[in-house]
Amino acid sequence: MELSELTACEDVVMFVNAAVAATGQREFYGDLGQQRLSLAFLHDYVRVNYREIYAATLALDINDLNAATIVLGLLRTAQEAPLPQRKLEGRLIAARLSRLPPQRVYRVLRTLRAEGINNRRTRAIVRDWVAARPDVAFDAVKYRRALAAVAGHAHLKLPGEVGTMLFDWRRPARYATPILESWRRAHYDKQALFDLPYTVAEGLASSRRRGIGRAEFLRAIAPRLSELERLRLQRSGAAVEGVAGIALDRQPLTRLALYVLSLPRPERARRRDELTAALRTAARRAAGRQAGTWGDVVAVLDDSYSASGSAVKRRRPLAVALAAHYLLEALSQRYHPIWLNHTGDPLLVHPAGATPLGERLLDGLARRPERLVVVSDGWDNAPPGLAAEVLRVWRQRLDPDGRTSIVHLNPVYDGDAFDVRRLSPTVASVGVRDAEDAAALVELARFATGTATFAELRAHLDERVEGFLR
């Protein structure tokens, strides 16, 4: 492979790693400003030098922050792309917006308004997205200011009473749309609060003139809570008598792992059967048709103190490792997990100790598995550099034919390196946000070691784009 192709592959994989793992938040080893500055540079660099690939990244399993940043970057610089490319970008943007949470999309659209980006294609994208919303009246209540700003900027014609509610809500004596009428009445009728979405009702109930206690409010609003809202309340310790618990078997795998780790260890032990069954159900659902197809798998899982994450991402790296444990168990025919420090039931794992990755890699490789998967932030420090040396000797001396496939999944972005921290140049390191994406990320890993050509990478992205748009 020519040096230019190798450099292009490295640049693209580096950006994809960042777009998956980086959330613009503080990490255990990195601060907020450092990460945001690093991310901004990467987005500009890849958009300018590899615009088609930059747009195609929207079809990958990147996180919401970076998807929104790509959408903004493409719309801000539409004049830099030829017409056929702009049409494809428009389809990718529309498809990605339909998958983003509505609050994230409204934030993007308000940014476009603030920056005065209002060309015909942008207005069409906004119009189509709002028209596809399942309940615009619901949005008018929950995202009132954002929808009003977007409608005014893009000159939208809103259906029914929504436009009146947004721009002159006091004029009608009564709304025919139930949710709009409940919102109007909630300004003076306490009972009407509980017909509103939880977040809207919470804002109105917090007003001093309401006099509604927190426990009373949660009991009354319980029927309106979504599964995610119930989960967040329970993780924050706000469970209240009369508010039903979450349906564990319906939660995504990594989100469920975060919930499990938020529980005290004695409660996890007491609920071991229930929580383990729920995690395995979520893992089988995530594995899908690939369940049981990975053969003999060994996992090295990081539970060192740095896996506790940061104040804004509490226990996130450890949750990814725990979720990956159950996913790899579902994917493999034979599975052996190795935690850096923990022994016994993985449900009771907690972040503690140093990061002896080198020693645990020796334990894992001694079993000569078909696949070795490492889930770690990559800060090998007990002793420093041992993991890289173990992997180098293994690749060069003990397994030059590559009988054991090794991949490193890293849930933490390193702003200094503009990438996730790598264990060794001979082993692919890819960013991971949710363990559910591990199977797709392992497929992407082959482009991170220089063994695949840039043309193969383009073909892989084209295939993902085709499936994404279809």
Domain ranges within the chain, ordered by starting residue: 3-220, 254-469
pLDDT band at 294 (very low <50, low <70, confident <90, very high): very high
Are 380 and 306 spatial neighbours (Cβ–Cβ below 8 Å)? no
Q: What is the pTM of this model?
A: 0.90
pLDDT band at 217 (very low <50, low <70, confident <90, very high): confident
Instruction: From 312, 307, 422, select the one nearest 354 (Cα to Cα).
Output: 307
**Residue 115: CB partners within 8 Å, gap ≥ 6?**
76
pLDDT band at 208 (very low <50, low <70, confident <90, very high): very low
pLDDT band at 454 (very low <50, low <70, confident <90, very high): confident
Q: What is the mean pLDDT of residues 6-12?
A: 84
User: What is residue 245's predicted lDDT score, i.e. its pLDDT?
Assistant: 62
Examine residue 346 and say whether the peptide bond preceding it is cis (omega within 30 degrees of 0): no
Are 327 and 286 spatial neighbours (Cβ–Cβ below 8 Å)? yes
Look at residue 6 and tell me whether its pLDDT is greater than 90: no
Mean pLDDT, the chain, integer: 89
Query: Cα(395)–Cα(427) distance, rounded to whole angstroms?
Result: 9
**164: buried, middle or exposed (CB in 10 Å: 19+, 13-18, 0-12)?**
middle
Pick the CATH number of 254-469 from 3.40.50, 3.30.450, 2.40.160, 3.30.420: 3.40.50
Query: Cα(204)–Cα(275) distance, rounded to whole angstroms?
Result: 36
Instruction: From 371, 275, 259, 405, select the one nearest 318 (Cα to Cα).
Output: 259
User: What is residue 402's predicted lDDT score, i.e. its pLDDT?
Assistant: 87
Are 306 and 291 spatial neighbours (Cβ–Cβ below 8 Å)? no
CA distances from 379 to 259, 414, 420 (A): 25, 10, 10
- pLDDT tens digits for range 414-428: 988 888 999 998 898
Q: What is the mean pLDDT of residues 236-261?
A: 75
User: What is residue 8's predicted lDDT score, i.e. its pLDDT?
Assistant: 83
Give the rounded distance of the alpha carbon of 19 from its chain centre: 10
- pLDDT tens digits for range 327-368: 999 999 999 999 999 998 999 999 999 999 999 999 999 999
pLDDT band at 236 (very low <50, low <70, confident <90, very high): low
User: What is residue 143's predicted lDDT score, i.e. its pLDDT?
Assistant: 93
- pLDDT tens digits for range 300-337: 999 999 999 998 899 999 999 999 999 999 999 999 99
* Share of the chain residues as helix, strand and coil, in percent rounded to the nearest 5: 60, 5, 35
Query: Cα(56)–Cα(27) distance, rounded to whole angstroms?
Result: 28
Query: Cα(100)–Cα(68) distance, rounded to whole angstroms?
Result: 8
